[in-house]
Amino acid sequence: MKKAPYKILVIIAIITMLIASLFYLSDIHFQLQYFKWKNFLSEVIMISLPIILSTAITIYMSYKAQKNRETNDTLV
- Name the H helices within 1-76: 6-24, 30-35, 37-71
Q: Which structural domain range is residue 39 located in?
A: 29-69
Question: What value, to the nearest 5°, has the Cα angle with vertex 22 and ends 20 and 23?
Answer: 65
Q: Does 4 have pLDDT greater than 60?
A: yes
Around 14, how many Cα atoms within 13 Å sit in the side-chain half-sphere? 7
Residue 3 belongs to some domain of the structure = no
Residue 6 belongs to some domain of the structure = no
Q: Does 1 have pLDDT greater than 50?
A: no
Task: Give pLDDT, residue 16.
Answer: 80
- Cβ 52 vs Cβ 17: under 8 Å: yes
pLDDT tens digits, one per residue of 24-67:
666 655 555 556 667 777 877 888 888 888 888 888 888 888 88
Residue 2 belongs to some domain of the structure = no
pTM here is 0.46
d(CA 9, CA 24): 22
> pLDDT grade, residue 18 (50/70/90)?
confident
